[in-house]
Amino acid sequence: MVEQGLIRAAQSGDRDALITLLREIEGQVYKTAFYILHNEQDALDASQEALIRVYTKIGSYEEKAQFKTWVQRIVTNICIDKFRKTKPTVSIDEHELVFKDKQNVEREVLSSYLAEDIREAIDQLPEHHRTVIVLRYLQDFSYNEIADCLNLPLNTVKSYLFRARQQLQNRLQEYQKGGVSG
């Protein structure tokens, strides 16, 4: 949680406070961008753009909303814009599995496959459903914070989350039955 005094100092022109503030939020900004865009380079670009926007717009932040909600709205909007401009692509990068305990190799392999299945299922969700899932379950936002962040009515957020969970459940059941075609 970012300290309000730091935000006020940054707003009043304290360059050191602004740099400290940006450093405190950059990890969460990148995490959100990566979970929405699923591409490291795009996430880095979106994060940088979001941090620049926070840097230039810090004076317009009003304490009506929580600072983290304001920042997440910025990064989410940037990611949505990027997502709309480019069609998603599937990455075929190979990831090395690193086993901590040779006794639990099978469990770790199954766990890595499950995590990959979940990521793939989230990737296949419509943009608005994926965004609310990321904010709720990966960023731990409350329903009200998601509504504020995305400028949506609370009932719409609840509806999106309900439908997204249903879609995820259906897709994951299909994966468990032996895979999904296209």
What local confidence, expressed as pLDDT, does residue 113 receive? 61
CATH number at residue 174: 1.10.10.10
- The 10s digit of each residue's pLDDT in 86-99 is 644 444 344 444 44
CATH number at residue 48: 1.10.1740.10
Q: Which residues contact 83 (CB under 8 A, 6 or more apart)?
A: 36, 37, 127
What local confidence, expressed as pLDDT, does residue 138 receive? 79
Q: Average per-residue pLDDT in the chain?
A: 80
**Which domain range does residue 67 map to?**
1-93
Domain count of the chain? Answer: 2
What local confidence, expressed as pLDDT, does residue 107 receive? 55
What's the average model confidence in pLDDT over 123-150? 87
What local confidence, expressed as pLDDT, does residue 177 receive? 64
Distance of CA 130 to the CA centre of its chain: 9
Asked if residue 164 and residue 140 are part of one domain, the reply reads: yes
- The 10s digit of each residue's pLDDT in 47-83 is 999 999 999 999 888 887 789 889 998 998 898 887 6
Q: Report how far residue 144's alpha carbon sits from residue 153's, in angstroms, rounded to the nearest whole number.
A: 9
What's the average model confidence in pLDDT over 127-140? 86
Asked if residue 84 and residue 142 are part of one domain, the reply reads: no
Q: Report how far residue 175's alpha carbon sits from residue 85's, in angstroms, rounded to the nearest whole number.
A: 29
Asked if residue 100 and residue 81 are part of one domain, the reply reads: no
Print the SS3 string covering the chain.
CCCHHHHHHHHCCCHHHHHHHHHHHHHHHHHHHHHHHCCHHHHHHHHHHHHHHHHHHHHHCCCCCCHHHHHHHHHHHHHHHHHHHCCCCCCCCCCCCCCCCHHHHHHHHHHHHHHHHHHHHHHCCCHHHHHHHHHHHHCCCCHHHHHHHHCCCHHHHHHHHHHHHHHHHHHHHHHHCCCCCC
**pLDDT reading at 84 higher than 80:** no
What local confidence, expressed as pLDDT, does residue 141 receive? 86
- The 10s digit of each residue's pLDDT in 4-38 is 888 999 999 999 999 999 999 999 999 999 888 88
Domain termination site, one of 93, 121, 139: 93
Asked if residue 65 and residue 106 are part of one domain, the reply reads: no
Asked if residue 100 and residue 87 are part of one domain, the reply reads: no
Dig out the tokens for 51 from the structure: 């941090």
**pLDDT reading at 173 higher than 90:** no
**pLDDT reading at 100 higher than 90:** no
**pLDDT reading at 103 higher than 70:** no
What's the average model confidence in pLDDT over 115-144? 84
What local confidence, expressed as pLDDT, does residue 181 receive? 44
